A and B are shown apart, each in its own frame.
Chain A
Amino acid sequence: MDALPYTTTARPDTGLTSPKLGIWLFLASEVMLFGSLFSAYVLLRTGAPFWPDQSETLNVPLAALNTVILISSSVTMVLAWAAAAAGNLSRYRLFMGLTLLGGALFLVVKAIEYSDKFSHGLYPSTNNFLAIYFTMTGLHAIHVIAGMVVNAYLLGVTRMWREDHLRFTNRVEIAGIYWHFVDVVWIFLFPVLYLL
């Protein structure tokens, strides 16, 4: 079964490996998913007679901190891939560990934000702004968790590192592309939900 062609080597006429193409197609559907939610946001906001001041309602410094955390975990992810490509296992483990740590910190900050809202009696049902805020950031958090599961697997299970190093490196790259996408979504969520 592992004899399937083009899992690690690129098909000559497309220049792509299958997993590379697969992850981009998956992300294409993710773009449509978050895009649909953004269109819902715009429609609800333009149709609302009253829209709360977003930056007053939410905690901008915490969200800015989260942006920095997620961008940092993105750069450690790409450095982990670079270390894997260079065959440096200890550096790979360091950067992959940092990436996971970044994801965990992001979730902790998010949890603090959520509980702060709840303690002030602000729930998804309070108004449509909070509704879309909780829905979009919640869905994003689920994506963060999914990415962390994949990254943790790649950190823990390194048998393939020895047996099929090229394939392992490619997996790290694929996981990285997904992880950076999660970052990209947040890059849009931050200004749209907190600043505008």
Chain B
Amino acid sequence: MSEPVATAHAVNVRGYLSVFATLLVLTLVTVGVASLDLTEGMTVLVAVSIATFKAGLVALFFMHLKGEKPMVFWSLGLTGVLLVTLFAFVLWTEGDHLLGTKVGDAFGTAPAQTEPVSPKPQGGGGH
């Protein structure tokens, strides 16, 4: 009926299927790793890394981000930077409250009148 269409992205069915297989394997790996007795930090690191890798595969191949034009990368890059900003500053600001760690004081900017550092975390920071 219709003529085949020349599209911007090459159709590679075999490639899509191998990405699919990789995604399935990685899903099994995530579930498997979570059931191991790793430390909490390790579990988080592994799970988030695998998820990021899977998301990257979907974006690069299924969403054709591989070989996409600079304008799309600029927009997504800006989004990524702002997302990191949101995470970083919300957690930094509230980390002071929640953990009592006073993250910033590690940089040696603590006011002089603070009490000697106690090993127990103290609630609340700042004023």
Chain B positions within 8 Å of A64 at CB level: 27, 31
List residues 90-113 of chain B with CB under 8 A from any CB of chain A: 90-91, 94-95, 97-99
Chain A: residues with Cβ within 8 Å of the partner, total of 57
B58 to A68, Cβ gap below 8 A? no
List residues 153-169 of chain A with CB under 8 A from any CB of chain B: 161-162, 165-166, 169
Task: Mark contacts of A169-187 with chain B using CB atoms, 8 A cut-off: 1 yes-contact digit, 0 otherwise.
Answer: 1100100110011011001
| Interface assignment of B17: CB less than 8 Å from any CB of chain A | yes
| Interface assignment of A78: CB less than 8 Å from any CB of chain B | yes
B86 to A192, Cβ gap below 8 A? no
B59 to A184, Cβ gap below 8 A? yes
Give chain B nearest CB distance to A113 CB in angstroms: 16
Chain B positions within 8 Å of A191 at CB level: 30, 34, 47-48, 50-51
A89 to B11, Cβ gap below 8 A? no
| Interface assignment of A121: CB less than 8 Å from any CB of chain B | no
B-side interface size class: 35 or more
Known contacts A35-B86, A191-B50; decide if A14 and B75 are in contact (CB<8 Å): no
**How distant is the Cα of A176 from the Cα of B30 in the complex, in angstroms?**
25
B58 to A43, Cβ gap below 8 A? no
B24 to A16, Cβ gap below 8 A? no
- Determine which of A16, A36, A78 lies in contact with B69 in the assembled complex, contact meaning CB atoms within 8 Å: A16
A-B contact pairs, 13 of them (CB 8 A): A24-B72, A31-B80, A47-B94, A68-B27, A86-B4, A86-B5, A87-B2, A87-B5, A173-B7, A176-B63, A177-B63, A188-B55, A191-B51
